[in-house]
Structure 1
């Protein structure tokens, strides 16, 4: 995968800011709306491994579903397999935006981190 995948939710203000940053920096990506094209179990498992981050970093902790289902407690005690099942249940549970390449995964929009990896 030489092209980077940009997973985002078009109505998310942080995703809009990230998309503008990508455009302003002439970084081409394949864009994917996470609310209609959910990551698969295989994708998420691979991305989590590649990122080197704990699985908890992939949860949208400010989202409605996260709060309604009290996922904060589940994330502390559930197995990775159970957590991946929760993440694939709805793209809205997944933290966004995400940039996925064959070498790294960026979770959330951190301009400094994105500059370092993408420029």
Structure 2
């Protein structure tokens, strides 16, 4: 549901669809620095993203088995035109 934090299962699904947890991480987030030394595995990052949603790069669009993460004008325009 819109506005509710993502569960670990939802984040895991998005990471698999994206091709890895790293692609979901918002490394520009001030919170990233707080967590990066504590994360020893992708599962750690998934738990941290569920705990602290600001670690997740946004926006995210999932449509027809495809995922777009972050804002890329050309990619989003192409996705909307499909």
Q: Fold conserved (TM > 0.5)? A: yes
Aligned partner of 1:104 in structure 2 is: 66
Distance 1:55 1:95 in 2: 11
Q: Kindly indicate whether residue 51 of structure 2 is the aligned counterpart of residue 85 of structure 1.
A: no
- 2-structure distance, mates of 1:38, 1:61: 19
The structure with the largest alpha-carbon Rg is: 1
Aligned to 2:11: 44
What's the Cα RMSD here?
Answer: 2.0
Q: Give unpaired runs (5+ residues) of structure 1.
A: 1-29
Q: Which runs of 5+ in 2 are unaligned?
A: none
Structure 2-normalised TM-score? 0.80
The corresponding residue for 1:62 is 28
* Residues matched between the structures, number: 81
Q: CA deviation at 1:100?
A: 2.0
The TM-score, its normalising length taken from structure 1, stands at: 0.58
- What is the match of residue 94 of structure 1? 56
